[in-house]
Amino acid sequence: MKRIRCQFCGTFLGEGEDRCGNCGAPAEPDSRSPLEPAEEPAVVVENSGNSASTQTTVTARTPSGGGCGSRLLIAIIVAAVLIPILAAIAIPALMNCARRSREARIATATPEEMGAVLTPAPTPDSVYRAVLVEGENTVETVWPRVLLDCPDSCSWLEPYQPSAAFLVEVRWERPLCRFYATAPFDLVMAVLERRDDGTLGFLRYDDDTVGRDPQIDEILHRGEYIVIVAPLSSFDTGGISFVLEILQEEVPVLPPDTVFTTELSELDPRAVYFVEIRRDSVYTIQAASDDLDTFVELRTGQGAVLSDDDGGGGWSDSRL
């Protein structure tokens, strides 16, 4: 006889009972509790002998439905272990891919493509004004490659500082130019050269040559330049003034073995010349005066600077 167990409380029902005497739940002949797996038909084996016969009954059981729950639990555990591992691998890879994509985009980006505001400064000895506004026209907007090309010496030029960008066109071949900016707060300045493809290359940087005001004197070539002026502190905002001066329209080339005399004054305190330096050669550059203490400085096209104050003797003459 097939015994029936209540599918709710597990109590075995008597023959002919259609409800559980324990919980009152209705019983169906085919219902089985997970606690009582279904029985397969018995296999009967009969052995006969001289004295007696024996009958052996073998009962085979099929796996219960509880195996599905176990497999689901294992799958959940495996997923809980693998998902963090896969995320730890995939997230850095995706971030690295996004970073490379951004670097590739900004490598050829121009200030105009980044939405930078450029203030034209076409006339020397004129005062140009701009306003620094927090979060607007940032250094990175004007100079997209600032994180890649800005040297370590530009310690106060940060990508997210507000800035003013002045567009300067040099129409002379080798002029000596002076860039000067002033404001009620401390400023920094960088001069950038516009390349043929529209991108910008770094030339010079200054923090506070004149008190809190930056000033850069640079020999330039014919072409376009952008001068970035930013606050030393990102919290400083407001109006600034910018001036471009042409100190010499064309810097002369000084040939070797040349002795010359020039006059310096308080308004024009320096003389600037080009010199051609050849590798594996020895050169001497000397400045002497009976009226003032001289100082000589040599700058290379790669940005290296050599200088001397009193190397020429007499506590007033300079020599390299």
User: For 175-190, how does the pLDDT look when each residue is reduced to its tens digit (9 = 90+)?
Assistant: 989 999 999 999 999 9
Per-residue confidence (pLDDT) for residue 22, from 0 to 100: 73
pTM: predicted TM-score of the whole model, two decimal places: 0.60
In the three-class reduction of DSSP (H, G, I as helix; E, B as strand; rest coil), residue 201 is classed as strand
Reported as a pLDDT band with limits 50, 70 and 90, residue 316 is confident
Q: How far apart are CA 211 and CA 164, in angstroms?
A: 20
Per-residue confidence (pLDDT) for residue 244, from 0 to 100: 94
**CB-based contact 230:216 (threshold 8 Å):** no
**Tell me: the pLDDT tens digits for 144-156?**
888 888 888 787 8
Q: How far apart are CA 226 and CA 130, in angstroms?
A: 14
Dmax (CA) for the chain in angstroms is 147
Per-residue confidence (pLDDT) for residue 91, from 0 to 100: 82
What is the mean predicted confidence (pLDDT) over 110-114? 87
Check pLDDT > 90 for residue 254.
no
Check pLDDT > 90 for residue 57.
no
Reported as a pLDDT band with limits 50, 70 and 90, residue 42 is very low
Weakest mean pLDDT among 73-87, 170-184, 234-248, 292-306: 292-306
Which residues, at least 6 apart from 274, have a Cβ–Cβ distance to it below 8 Å?
A: 174, 219, 251, 252, 253, 254
Residue predicted with more confidence, 138 or 155: 138
Check pLDDT > 70 for residue 69.
no
Amino acid at 184: P
In the three-class reduction of DSSP (H, G, I as helix; E, B as strand; rest coil), residue 171 is classed as coil
Per-residue confidence (pLDDT) for residue 101, from 0 to 100: 64
Q: How far apart are CA 261 and CA 315, in angstroms?
A: 20
Closest CA to 179 of 251, 134, 240, 239: 240
Per-residue confidence (pLDDT) for residue 34, from 0 to 100: 44
Check pLDDT > 70 for residue 203.
yes
What is the mean predicted confidence (pLDDT) over 221-238? 92
DSSP 63: P
Closest CA to 120 of 175, 164, 160, 159: 164
Q: Residue 64 corresponds to which tokens in the numbers above?
A: 């219960």
**In the chain, which ranges are continuous DSSP H helix?**
66-107, 139-142, 146-149
Query: Which residue, chain included where needed, has tokens 């050669």?
Result: 281
Query: Which residue, chain included where needed, has tokens 């799958």?
Result: 75
Q: How far apart are CA 145 and CA 128, in angstroms?
A: 26
**CB-based contact 87:67 (threshold 8 Å):** no
SS (H, E, C) 268-293: CCCCCCECCCCCCCCCCCEECCCCCC
Check pLDDT > 90 for residue 136.
yes
Reported as a pLDDT band with limits 50, 70 and 90, residue 53 is very low
What is the mean predicted confidence (pLDDT) over 46-62? 47
Cβ burial of 102 (10 Å; 0-12, 13-18, 19+) is exposed
Which residues, at least 6 apart from 61, have a Cβ–Cβ distance to it below 8 Å?
A: 37, 38, 39, 40
Amino acid at 271: A
Per-residue confidence (pLDDT) for residue 163, from 0 to 100: 94
Q: Residue 196 corresponds to which tokens in the numbers above?
A: 């043929």
For the chain, the straight-line distance linking the first and the last C-alpha, in angstroms and rounded, comes to: 118
- Residue 224 Cα distances to 100, 195, 228, 264, angstroms: 29, 8, 13, 30
